[in-house]
Amino acid sequence: MGGGGRADGRGGQCRACGGPAGGRGRHHGAAASGKCGGPDRRACPLAGRDRYFHHAGLSFPHGRCADHQFSPAAFDLVYAGRGFLRATDDAGRLCACDCGGVPLLFLWGWQPAFSDGCNMTRGKDDQDQTTTEAEPAGRAGAFGFSCLARDGAARSGVITTPRGQIRTPAFMPVGTAGTVKAMLPGTVRALGADILLGNTYHLMLRPSAERVARLGGLHNFMNWPHPILTDSGGYQVMSLSELRQMSEEGVTFRSHVDGAKHHLTPERSVDIQLLLGSDIVMVLDECTPFPATHAVAESSLALSMRWAARCKTAFADAPGHALFGIVQGGVYPDLRARSAAQLQEIGFHGYAVGGLAVGEGQQAMFDTLDATVPHLPQDKPRYLMGVGKPADLLGAVMRGIDMFDCVLPTRSGRTGQAFTSQGVLNLRNARHAEDQSPLDPAIDCPASRDYSRAYLHHLVKSKEILGAMLLSWHNLAYYQHLMAEMRSAIAAGALSALAARLHAGWAENSR
């Protein structure tokens, strides 16, 4: 029978590496912790992997298609009507469609029953390979990027992960501590978000990566079964922590939560992100301060590149995960080009542009992107970290960026600001006190169309929780609407026309 091992809660061996199965009373490495408990967990394909199954008598119920993920080490064979086939491809995927099928794997024969229309992923000799990007050895199909349309430097496409597809350009709502503030995960998904960002620094301090892993991983913990990208924690260490001491080895700091001392290295950062179950892992880097001299930026860049290489070694091509490098170099074109080249020599699944939106101003940011993006590979996704305002997103997309994250939509919502097609509205202002118009009727969201500006003004002035909830909801809806508009415009070759219309609308409120 595929997936052997003890299910009596008294141990058993991990089939992937020979170490003990982690957890209690679950099938093999499908233990309560969902991961291998062996001594060399990083080298084991089951290490830190959450599982979407539990022991339930004679069956293992599963969720929707996006959740059909099993380790080849845990489930070797299934019967799919044409003889025994491997349960997964190397990506750990079972079902590759959006049919919503719900399989039941029965103990006797591991026979899956799928709803009508489910398109099973066969073995490699049995299926069409449509991934347009060559993957590192051992991860074919696990992570890929397909460019579907171009308009100048801008491009729209799809990032493929084992947990689902990400339409690009994409905006990632920020779930700092395992939650997008004031929002339910299902509501965030309904707005059009394909991926969230989790914060390594905050989660490592509270509740801890190890606890999240024991509870089934971040996806299970926060009830978000779709892709998650986690940052490395480096930026927060530099900006939030006290008594920092940085060395070649890593960063020692004291927690802003309880003052406890922590040591974050490239290896530990990767390990934390894998314990969380992140789909896209970011390397640990030093965010170059602004302003910085060329010499300071060059020294910071060199350290970040050494740390990037260590992160790649620690990552060890973990099955089901992707690793992104981060381009640094301040506002200096020669350093940005050098960083991009060195990262490509190391080799990553995607490339982020870091060290921007730190006070340099929009034009300097755009100039730096103009000097950086041409040095990044065409067949990999590009991620601009921590950006930003709607005009920043538009300008960066027009320069070839695919992914963004920023706390601005929810943070601004909590302080009474709304992003609209007519610019930014400050709901604290008295001019909204008797305004019965909605925030933005063009946005298909109840918060945008069903509540008057007067009511929202009242909620904000009264410091009612509902005000922060509705404005956060609206702002995230507006950001996802903006990304959808840009994807459609790129496909139609009309991004310049969209940009002109957007800028005209944003300027309207400032007259």
Amino acid, single-letter form, for residue 281: V
Please indicate whether residue 452 or residue 10 has the higher confidence score (pLDDT): 452
Q: What is the pLDDT of residues 251-299, one digit of tens each?
A: 998 888 898 999 999 999 999 999 999 999 999 999 998 999 999 999 9
* pLDDT confidence of residue 18: 54
DSSP assignment of 451-481:
SBHHHHHHHHHTT-HHHHHHHHHHHHHHHHH
- Predicted pLDDT at 19: 53
Say whether pLDDT at 105 is over 70: no
Q: Is residue 453 part of a domain?
A: yes
Band of residue 233 on the pLDDT scale cut at 50, 70, 90: confident
Mean pLDDT for 91-109 is 32
Per-residue model confidence (pLDDT) at position 13 = 53
- Write down the pLDDT at residue 262: 92
How does pLDDT run across 332-352, given as a tens digit for each residue? 999 999 999 999 999 999 999
Edge-first strand listing for the sheet containing 242-246: 242-246, 251-254, 261-264
> Tokens for 17?
């590496």
Helix-helix angle 294-315:333-346, to 10 degrees = 10
Q: Which residues pair with 403 in a beta bridge?
A: 170, 383
Domain around 500: 412-508
Report the domain count for the chain.
Answer: 3
Q: Do residues 305 and 165 both lie within one domain?
A: yes
Q: Which residue has the higher pLDDT, 388 or 77?
A: 388
Instruction: Give the pLDDT of residue 2.
Output: 37
Query: Is the confidence at residue 113, as pLDDT, over 70?
Result: no
pLDDT at 242: 63
Domain match, 157 and 244 both: yes
Domain finish residue from 96, 129, 162 = 129
CB 152 within 8 A of CB 470: no
Would residue 134 count as lying in a domain? no
**CATH classification at residue 258:** 3.20.20.105
Residue 237 binned pLDDT confidence (cut-offs 50, 70, 90): confident
Check whether residue 153 and residue 270 sit in a common domain.
yes
Of 87, 103, 129, the residue that ends a domain is 129
Answer yes or no: do 158 and 108 share one domain: no
Query: How many residues appear in the chain?
Result: 511
**Structure-derived torsion over alpha carbons of residues 53, 46, 167, 416, reported in degrees to the nearest 10:** 80
Is residue 291 assigned to a domain? yes
Same domain, 247 and 392: yes
124 shares a domain with 184 = no
Query: What is the number of other CB atoms lying within 10 angstroms of the CB of residue 410?
Result: 26
pLDDT in tens, 300-332: 999 999 999 999 999 998 999 999 999 999 999
225 & 328 share domain: yes
Choose among 347, 342, 284, 345: nearest CA to 317: 347
175 within 8 A of 199, measured Cβ to Cβ: yes
Which 3 state secondary structure label does DSSP give 15?
coil
DSSP structure string for 363-411: HHHHHHHHHHGGGS-TTS-EEETT---HHHHHHHHTTT--EEE-SHHHH
Strand partners, 144: 160
Mean pLDDT of 383-401: 98
Angle at 27 between CA 22 and CA 28, to 5 degrees: 50
pLDDT in tens, 447-503: 999 999 999 999 999 999 999 999 999 999 999 999 999 999 999 999 999 999 999
Does residue 434 lie in a domain region?
yes
Please give the DSSP secondary-structure letter assigned to residue 444.
-
**Between 199 and 117, the higher pLDDT residue:** 199
pLDDT at 359 over 80: yes
Give the residue from 406, 437, 463 where a domain finishes.
406
Reduced to 3 states (helix: H, G, I; strand: E, B; else coil), residue 246 is strand
**Does position 102 have pLDDT exceeding 80, yes or no?**
no
Does residue 138 belong to any structural domain of this protein?
no
Q: Which residues are catalytic?
A: 231, 405
Look at residue 219 and tell me if it is in a domain. Answer: yes
In a domain, 137, yes or no: no
Do 375 and 426 share a structural domain?
no
Does 301 lie in the same domain as 226?
yes
- Answer yes or no: is 139 within a domain: no
Are 421 and 400 part of one and the same domain? Answer: no
Cβ(465)–Cβ(440) below 8 Å: no
Q: Are residues 121 and 22 located together in one domain of the fold?
A: yes
Residues 45 and 148 in one domain: no
Burial 89-109 (b: 16+ CB within 10 A, else e): bbbbbbbbeeeebbbebeeee
